[in-house]
Amino acid sequence: MSRIMIVEGDQHVRELLVTYFAESPQEKHNVSSFSSAEKALEVIRQNPNAIDIVISSNHLPGMDGVSFVEAVKNIRADIPTVLISGYQISPCRTKADAFYLKPFDIEELGCAVRRLLPPVTA
Protein backbone atom coordinates (compact mmCIF):
# COMPACT_ATOMS: atom_id res chain seq x y z
CA MET A 1 0.00 0.00 0.00
CA SER A 2 1.46 3.34 -1.05
CA ARG A 3 1.88 6.15 1.45
CA ILE A 4 0.59 9.50 0.21
CA MET A 5 1.05 12.82 2.00
CA ILE A 6 -1.48 15.53 1.14
CA VAL A 7 -0.72 19.13 2.11
CA GLU A 8 -3.66 21.42 1.38
CA GLY A 9 -4.85 24.52 3.21
CA ASP A 10 -8.44 24.27 1.94
CA GLN A 11 -10.27 21.76 4.13
CA HIS A 12 -12.78 20.77 1.43
CA VAL A 13 -10.10 20.08 -1.19
CA ARG A 14 -7.99 18.25 1.41
CA GLU A 15 -10.94 16.03 2.37
CA LEU A 16 -11.74 15.32 -1.29
CA LEU A 17 -8.15 14.23 -1.94
CA VAL A 18 -7.94 12.11 1.22
CA THR A 19 -11.22 10.35 0.41
CA TYR A 20 -10.27 9.75 -3.22
CA PHE A 21 -6.85 8.24 -2.48
CA ALA A 22 -7.87 6.34 0.65
CA GLU A 23 -10.84 4.77 -1.16
CA SER A 24 -9.55 4.75 -4.76
CA PRO A 25 -11.18 2.07 -6.90
CA GLN A 26 -7.80 1.36 -8.57
CA GLU A 27 -5.78 1.07 -5.38
CA LYS A 28 -6.30 2.08 -1.77
CA HIS A 29 -3.51 4.17 -0.26
CA ASN A 30 -2.37 5.02 3.24
CA VAL A 31 -3.03 8.78 3.33
CA SER A 32 -1.81 11.41 5.77
CA SER A 33 -2.97 14.99 5.44
CA PHE A 34 -1.83 18.36 6.72
CA SER A 35 -3.16 21.89 6.46
CA SER A 36 0.27 23.48 6.88
CA ALA A 37 3.66 22.97 5.25
CA GLU A 38 5.51 23.29 8.56
CA LYS A 39 3.75 20.29 10.13
CA ALA A 40 4.22 18.21 6.98
CA LEU A 41 7.93 19.06 6.81
CA GLU A 42 8.34 18.08 10.45
CA VAL A 43 6.92 14.62 9.66
CA ILE A 44 9.14 14.23 6.58
CA ARG A 45 12.24 15.27 8.55
CA GLN A 46 11.46 12.70 11.27
CA ASN A 47 11.17 9.84 8.79
CA PRO A 48 11.92 10.77 5.16
CA ASN A 49 11.29 7.24 3.88
CA ALA A 50 7.80 6.97 5.42
CA ILE A 51 6.21 8.79 2.46
CA ASP A 52 6.06 7.55 -1.15
CA ILE A 53 4.64 10.71 -2.76
CA VAL A 54 3.61 14.24 -1.74
CA ILE A 55 0.66 16.17 -3.19
CA SER A 56 0.67 19.83 -2.21
CA SER A 57 -1.32 22.94 -2.87
CA ASN A 58 0.62 26.05 -3.77
CA HIS A 59 -1.47 28.17 -1.39
CA LEU A 60 -0.50 27.14 2.14
CA PRO A 61 -0.36 29.01 5.44
CA GLY A 62 3.18 30.17 6.22
CA MET A 63 4.86 28.91 3.04
CA ASP A 64 3.93 28.63 -0.63
CA GLY A 65 3.85 25.23 -2.31
CA VAL A 66 6.85 25.98 -4.55
CA SER A 67 9.00 26.58 -1.44
CA PHE A 68 7.47 23.57 0.29
CA VAL A 69 8.30 21.25 -2.63
CA GLU A 70 11.85 22.62 -2.68
CA ALA A 71 12.19 21.93 1.07
CA VAL A 72 10.86 18.38 0.57
CA LYS A 73 13.35 17.75 -2.24
CA ASN A 74 16.17 19.10 -0.03
CA ILE A 75 15.26 16.48 2.58
CA ARG A 76 14.77 13.64 0.10
CA ALA A 77 15.52 14.42 -3.54
CA ASP A 78 13.89 11.30 -4.98
CA ILE A 79 10.43 11.72 -3.46
CA PRO A 80 7.83 12.35 -6.18
CA THR A 81 5.86 15.57 -5.73
CA VAL A 82 2.70 16.93 -7.32
CA LEU A 83 1.85 20.63 -7.02
CA ILE A 84 -1.70 21.90 -7.44
CA SER A 85 -2.53 25.59 -7.76
CA GLY A 86 -5.30 27.99 -8.58
CA TYR A 87 -3.00 29.83 -10.97
CA GLN A 88 -0.41 28.84 -13.55
CA ILE A 89 3.17 28.37 -12.37
CA SER A 90 6.11 28.19 -14.73
CA PRO A 91 7.77 24.75 -14.69
CA CYS A 92 11.08 26.59 -14.24
CA ARG A 93 9.89 27.88 -10.85
CA THR A 94 9.20 24.51 -9.26
CA LYS A 95 10.94 21.22 -8.61
CA ALA A 96 7.59 19.41 -8.61
CA ASP A 97 7.37 16.30 -10.78
CA ALA A 98 3.84 17.18 -11.90
CA PHE A 99 1.62 20.27 -11.83
CA TYR A 100 -2.18 20.53 -11.92
CA LEU A 101 -4.22 23.68 -12.22
CA LYS A 102 -7.32 24.00 -10.00
CA PRO A 103 -9.98 23.03 -10.66
CA PHE A 104 -8.35 19.73 -11.60
CA ASP A 105 -9.79 16.43 -12.80
CA ILE A 106 -9.38 14.05 -9.85
CA GLU A 107 -9.07 11.04 -12.18
CA GLU A 108 -6.20 12.71 -14.08
CA LEU A 109 -4.50 13.53 -10.79
CA GLY A 110 -4.95 9.92 -9.68
CA CYS A 111 -3.40 8.71 -12.93
CA ALA A 112 -0.40 11.01 -12.42
CA VAL A 113 0.06 9.75 -8.87
CA ARG A 114 0.00 6.12 -10.04
CA ARG A 115 2.56 6.98 -12.74
CA LEU A 116 4.87 8.75 -10.27
CA LEU A 117 4.67 6.19 -7.46
CA PRO A 118 7.67 3.89 -7.18
CA PRO A 119 6.99 0.31 -8.33
CA VAL A 120 5.73 -2.00 -5.64
CA THR A 121 8.22 -4.73 -4.79
CA ALA A 122 7.18 -8.05 -3.34
Percentage helix, strand, coil, to 5, in the chain? Answer: 40, 20, 40
* Rounded-to-integer distance, Cα 96 and Cα 56, Å: 9
pTM beyond 0.75: the answer is yes
Pairing of strands 3-7, 30-34: parallel
* Rounded-to-integer distance, Cα 101 and Cα 86, Å: 6
CATH code for the structural domain at 3-116: 3.40.50.2300
Q: Residue 100 pLDDT more than 60?
A: yes
- Average pLDDT along the chain: 92
| Nearest residue to 10 via CA among 98, 96, 84, 99 | 84
pLDDT digits (tens, 9 = 90+) for 23-78: 977 788 999 999 999 999 999 999 999 999 999 999 998 899 999 999 999 999 99
Q: How many degrees, rounded to 5, is the angle at CA 112 between CA 106 and CA 115?
A: 145
Q: Any idea where the domains of the chain sit in the sequence?
A: 3-116
Per-residue model confidence (pLDDT) at position 119: 76
Per-residue model confidence (pLDDT) at position 50: 95
C-alpha radius of gyration, the chain, whole number? 13
